[in-house]
Structure 1
Amino acid sequence: MKRTLALLLLALGMNVQAATLTLNEARAQGRVGETLSGYIAPVRQDAETLALVKQINTARAESYQQLADSNNLPVDDVAKMAGQKLVSRAQPGEYVKGINGRWLKK
């Protein structure tokens, strides 16, 4: 299981590497936040933010599917494992969506 999580986090970094700066900027500006589902969600609804969310989530979905296939796991389980890690790793000042569906600032 630890190996799967390590591979998951590595794959996430590799697939969004080109957009990492943009994602980090969006996080720092409070435009997006992490969710327990494993995907980012928009805090702001402007076109640039929504396009970034779509791009990042598409890359994550592909990574989750590859990891699920190679580890014989349901893709939803892989996404949720990643979501828990990503929410816990959010930096102070960044947004995360709580289990109640509300945005919380760490």
Structure 2
Amino acid sequence: MIRKTMTVLALGLAMSAAGAGLAMAQSAAAKATVDAAKTAGTVGEQADGYLGIVSGGDAALRAAVTEINTGRAAAYKDIAAKTGATPEAAGQATAKQLYARLAPGQYWKPLDGGWIKK
């Protein structure tokens, strides 16, 4: 129990630092493209810590989502290595923070469900 609590605490501290790592792992163009698509309801955040296409989207948008998700995957692996958690746990912990920052009207996809509007 103590080990689990320490792992959760370490993961939480790493997640606080992860915001900067996630931001650095993406280009400004990809971020701007995805931010606009999130506002338009074309892209949403998923409970696994990755972006997903809600509907539509052209090749440039899909490339921007892929670029950001690739950066997130690397960040989750790094966090996992530092905390002893799995990359999946790191992604899900980050997703909780990302959900809290979603604006009303943006989309979220739970692990076991479809897209919902916040």
TM-score computed with the length of structure 1 as normaliser: 0.87
Deviation at 1:39, TM superposition (A): 0.3
Map 1:90-105 → 2, pairs under 5 A:
90-105=102-117
Alpha carbons of structure 1 residues 3 and 100: separation in structure 2 relative to 1, 3 Å: closer
Unmatched 5+ residue regions in structure 2?
1-8
Query: Considering only aligned residues, what root-mean-square deviation do their CA atoms show, in Å?
Result: 1.6
Select 1:67's aligned residue among 76, 79, 82.
79
Select 1:38's aligned residue among 45, 49, 52.
49
Contact 2:79 2:90 in 1 (8 A): yes
Moved over 6 A (4+): none
Deviation at 1:98, TM superposition (A): 3.1
Specify the alignment match of 2:33 in structure 1: 22
Deviation at 1:53, TM superposition (A): 1.8
Size of the alignment, in residue pairs? 106
TM-score computed with the length of structure 2 as normaliser: 0.79
Deviation at 1:26, TM superposition (A): 1.3
Unmatched 5+ residue regions in structure 1?
none
Amino acid at match of 1:16: Q
